[in-house]
Chain A
């Protein structure tokens, strides 16, 4: 690997955005969960829903703050590291990102303040309504940013003049061909990721013999949700894959490590793709299955990487393995959800200790699946930054490699500290657990990071 500025810029962007995506993928799901808890609290009048709502709101606040600070950096990186990208497709992508920023800003400035600090200051219905708006707001933020990303995968609704893209049809830009699939896949992933965190926390409490009522509610809600969403994600993922096959066949070929086009194609359970030799070193495969997955027919023809010169192919190894990690976690989630539902049906869910212990340790799997999925879709698009329109190597800033390398090291150091502090404080909050009554007066403020004080107080 040669450390040219483009490679360093990609590494830096990959590092900062992987760090960033962890928090939105959690807060999108968690805000929906908090809103659900709020609605159930008003609906049933049962206080423990309210206790759980307050508990998860504090964790939400810390995560949201981490998402905000890492998101600020992203909004500048398009210029610092990808200035030619900004100059050439800014007309089209800029407003999509702009709307995302405005939505997040609007959300933070209004409803989040009420949700986090307004508990004693507003009537309960407004408090719950704020939670609903926060959930809608985070999903809207995802809507815009995924629209921007999908446009980079399947650009539409633009005209090219002198190498610069101009919007011709905003609806076609926003609802570009891969957008509905990517949005559904990502939102569902966020909800699944959060459900597995909730499941893990509930399982942890039951295992430790703490907070029985709240823990049971968490387990029931999480399993009830995952038993639907985990299989649904397989269907959405399949549809998303078919869309990718149509618009970005080389990405699919890299996911499957298929060098030769044609059919019937085998599914490689494990292989070691050798891009230099344009073949797989070792392969453990099931015949026909890849044709079945991709074409829904026994002998269907699939694309091969050799359709283009090696320099035009995406890097196969990371795409191939990231796809298998994502798929493996997805299948594990389906099994875990179905088995949990089975235990629940048999009435032994809360007593099956090995299952609770396993789930308590699986809080992280959704995050790994989300990151792997992004590695597949972003690396699989290479060597393009905007598919068929702008190459990654042509999109970088005129900044020397030394500057990019220096700031990359700074990012790793700073984010390393911030990340571990954040995880540490969230863990403290979880260990303290849901607390029944709130007596202290809390101020209304537009400062989500403030909830960090609860995290710190929890450790005292």
Chain B
């Protein structure tokens, strides 16, 4: 019990974070692509594609943060102070973006709220990348508490991860728009997808090279034997998915590019998990070091196992209900 409970919880929180990154990823991406639209009418159409989903998507972030407090208070108590400024910038960006999202739809000045929406979405994406980078590059810990300064996270690597996240979300957003819209918006998204794909691949390559070079334990994880025998398919599958994504965009396919973009994200996520498991706070604190008492993890697991399937079922239902394309000048509003 002492051994596998933290692993179950790491799996649950990992799933929540992965769901968050993919689901909120494409709607943040649409915010990032907002400035490239020709006019506010196109932006209306872009927004309508995510209108029924966005705040359901965002609630996974609450489960991720709340879950970390419940299951791994030791990690929560180190990560939050270490990444204090990016975390709070992310939260405030999401607040602003959420409000801008709604108030824009019938405001007197759409442009102002479009600007707030873009700024909030882009800053939130960038901050999330910085948080990820800040985690991967390692957090100094002494006696179970954060032992660094206010700007330790602000390294070139973390800033690179921030830009990578913006590009990645934009790719998710473009392939989503390519799938969910028609007309000028779909054509523009289609044209944006390929350059964004190359940008994302460049960032992925940079991160994949940087991490093993900077962190010896990550290099050892990937390149030592026999690990390498099991892990070589990860970059190979990533390359295949990237190639398929490129082909499908070229062929004018609609649904497959979005699924391939999701797969690309999941592979990148898998790579990070492989690099760092079982460390929640690399390079020192593992899931077992930071786990809550078994009694606490079990107590919370009971409620989660009952409620989580219901929530998942409802989300599937909502996506099914709002299936189909969003055309110009029509929608849920």
Known: A76-B65, A99-B300. 16 other contacts (CB 8 A): A73-B95, A75-B62, A83-B78, A90-B76, A90-B292, A91-B293, A94-B71, A109-B59, A110-B310, A113-B318, A166-B293, A400-B149, A400-B150, A418-B99, A453-B102, A453-B105
Contacts A79-B76, A456-B107 given: A94-B96 contact, CB under 8 Å?
no
B residues within 8 A CB of A397?
77, 80-81, 84, 146
CA distance A78 to B295 in the complex (A): 21
The list of the 5 closest CB pairs from A to B, nearest first, reads: A90-B73, A79-B80, A397-B81, A98-B70, A83-B77
Known contacts A109-B59, A400-B150, A447-B54; is-contact A94 B70 (Cβ 8 Å): yes
Chain A to chain B contacts (Cβ below 8 Å), 30 pairs:
A69-B95, A70-B95, A72-B65, A76-B65, A78-B80, A80-B84, A87-B145, A90-B70, A90-B77, A94-B73, A95-B70, A97-B70, A98-B70, A99-B303, A106-B307, A109-B314, A110-B311, A167-B296, A397-B81, A398-B81, A399-B150, A411-B88, A445-B318, A446-B315, A447-B53, A447-B56, A449-B55, A450-B102, A453-B333, A456-B105
Main secondary structure of the interface of A (DSSP, over half): helix
A161 — nearest CB in chain B belongs to which residue? B293
Cross-chain contact of B73 among A87, A108, A446, A453 (Cβ < 8 A)? A87
Complex contact B147–A108 (CB within 8 A): no
By the criterion CB–CB under 8 Å, are B51 and A445 in contact? yes
Distance to closest chain B CB from A194 (angstroms) = 23
B263 at the interface (CB under 8 A from A): no
List the A side residues contacting B307 at CB < 8 Å: 102, 105-106
A105–B52 CB distance below 8 A: no
The proximity string for B residues 135-149 relative to A, scoring 1 for CB distances below 8 Å and 0 otherwise, is: 000000000111101
Say whether B146 contacts A398, CB under 8 Å: yes
A window 393-418: CB within 8 A of B: 397-400, 402-403, 406-407, 410-411, 414, 418
The interface residues of chain B lying within 8 Å CB-to-CB of A228 are none
- Determine if B146 and A447 form an interchain contact, defined as CB atoms under 8 angstroms apart: no
Number of A-B contacts (CB under 8 A): 219
Q: Is the CB of A72 within 8 A of B94?
A: yes
Question: How near does chain A come to B129, taking the closest CB pair, in angstroms?
Answer: 17
- Mark contacts of B285-304 with chain A using CB atoms, 8 A cut-off: 1 yes-contact digit, 0 otherwise: 00000001101100110011
A109 to B77, CA, bound (A): 29
- Residues 61-105 of chain B, each 1 if its beta carbon lies under 8 Å from chain A, else 0: 111011111110110111111001101110110111011011101
Distance in angstroms from B63 CB to nearest chain A CB is 7
- Confirm or deny: A457 has a beta carbon within 8 angstroms of a beta carbon on chain B: yes
Chain B CB within 8 A of A452 CB: yes
Are A79 and B69 interface neighbours, CB within 8 A? yes
Most buried by B among A69, A70, A79, A456: A79
B66 and A101 contact, CB distance less than 8 A: yes
Give the complex CA separation of A443 and B149 in angstroms. Answer: 48
**A444 CB–B CB distance under 8 Å:** yes
Is B1 interfacial (CB-CB < 8 Å)? no
| Range of interface residues on B (Cβ < 8 Å) | 35 or more
- B225 is an interface residue with CB less than 8 A from chain A: no
In the complex formed, the residue of B with least CB distance to A79 is B80
With A72-B91, A418-B95, A447-B51 as known contacts, state yes or no: A87 contacts B318, CB within 8 Å. no
A97 to B68, CA, bound (A): 11
A410-B88 in contact (CB<8A): yes
Alpha-carbon distance A65/B95, docked complex (angstroms): 10
A410 touches B333 (CB 8 A): no
- The answer on a CB contact under 8 Å between A105 and B311 is yes
**Interface residue B332 (Cβ < 8 Å from any Cβ of A):** yes
Query: Is B80 touching A76 in the complex (CB atoms < 8 A)?
Result: yes
Whether A80 pairs with B150 at a CB distance below 8 angstroms is no
Q: A445-B318, A453-B333 are in contact. Are A94 and B145 (CB under 8 A)?
A: no
- What CA separation (Å) do A168 and B295 show in the bound complex? 8
Shortest Cβ distance from B96 into A: residue: A414
Question: Bound complex: CA of A374 vs CA of B104, how far in Å?
Answer: 35
Interface residues of B (CB under 8 A from A): 51-56, 58-59, 61-63, 65-71, 73-74, 76-81, 84-85, 87-89, 91-92, 94-96, 98-99, 101-103, 105-107, 144-147, 149-150, 292-293, 295-296, 299-300, 303-304, 307, 310-311, 314-315, 318, 321-322, 332-333
Chain B residue nearest to A415 in the complex (CB): B95
Query: What separation, in Å, do the CA atoms of A102 and B302 have in the docked complex?
Result: 12
Q: Which residues of A contact B87 (CB under 8 A)?
A: 76, 79-80
CA distance A65 to B321 in the complex (A): 22
Instruction: Check if A232 is an interface residue, CB within 8 A of chain B.
Output: no
Q: A83-B80, A101-B63, A450-B102 are in contact. Are A68 and B73 (CB under 8 A)?
A: no
CA distance A455 to B98 in the complex (A): 16
Which chain B residues lie closer than 8 Å to A448 at the CB level?
A: 55
> CA separation between A87 and B59, bound complex, in Å?
24
* A98 in contact with B106 (CB, 8 Å): no
- The listed residue (B56, B74, B84) touching A87 by CB distance below 8 A is B74
CB nearest neighbor in B for A87: B77
A92 vs B71: C-alpha distance when bound (angstroms) = 11
Q: How far is the CB of A133 from chain B (nearest CB, A)?
A: 12
Known: A106-B310, A403-B84, A407-B85. Is A86-B96 also a contact (CB below 8 A)?
no
With A400-B150, A447-B56 in contact, is A86–B73 under 8 Å at CB? yes
Question: Among residues 420 to 447 in chain A, which have CB atoms less than 8 Å away from a CB atom of chain B?
Answer: 421, 443-447
Q: A87 near B144 (CB under 8 angstroms)?
A: yes
**Residues of A5-55 whose CB lies within 8 A of B:** none
Determine the residue in chain A with the shortest Cβ distance to B104: A456
Chain B CB within 8 A of A460 CB:
yes
Cβ of B88 and Cβ of A94 under 8 Å apart?
no
B1 to chain A, nearest CB (A): 15
A433 to B85, CA, bound (A): 43
Closest approach, in angstroms, between the C-beta of B30 and any C-beta of chain A?
A: 15
Instruction: Choose one: B69, B85, B106; the contact of A403 (CB below 8 Å).
Output: B85
With known contacts A83-B145, A167-B296, A94–B69 Cβ distance under 8 A: yes
Q: Given A166-B293, A414-B92, does the pair A72, B61 have CB atoms closer than 8 Å? A: yes
Closest to A441 in B: B332
Q: Which residues of A contact B85 (CB under 8 A)?
A: 403, 406-407
**A84 beta carbon closer than 8 Å to chain B:** yes
* Interface assignment of A170: CB less than 8 Å from any CB of chain B: yes
Given contacts A166-B293, A166-B295, A447-B51, contact A411 B73 (CB under 8 A): no
Distance (whole angstroms) from the CB of B176 to the closest CB of chain A: 17
CA distance A450 to B293 in the complex (A): 40
CB pair B145–A398 under 8 Å, yes or no, is yes
Nearest-neighbour CB distance to chain B for A438, whole angstroms, equals 16
B150 x A94 contact (CB < 8 A): no
CA distance A418 to B293 in the complex (A): 39
Give chain A residues whose Cβ lies under 8 Å from the Cβ of B67. Answer: 98
CA distance A418 to B150 in the complex (A): 28
List B contacts of A110 (CB < 8 A).
310-311, 314
Residues of chain A within 8 A of B51, CB atoms compared? 445, 447, 450
The residue from B105, B147, B150, B299 contacting A402, defined by CB atoms under 8 A apart: B150
Interchain nearest-CB distance for A86 vs B (Å): 4
| Contact of A443 with B322 in the complex, beta carbons under 8 Å | yes
Residues of chain B contacted by A109 (CB below 8 angstroms): 56, 59, 310-311, 314-315
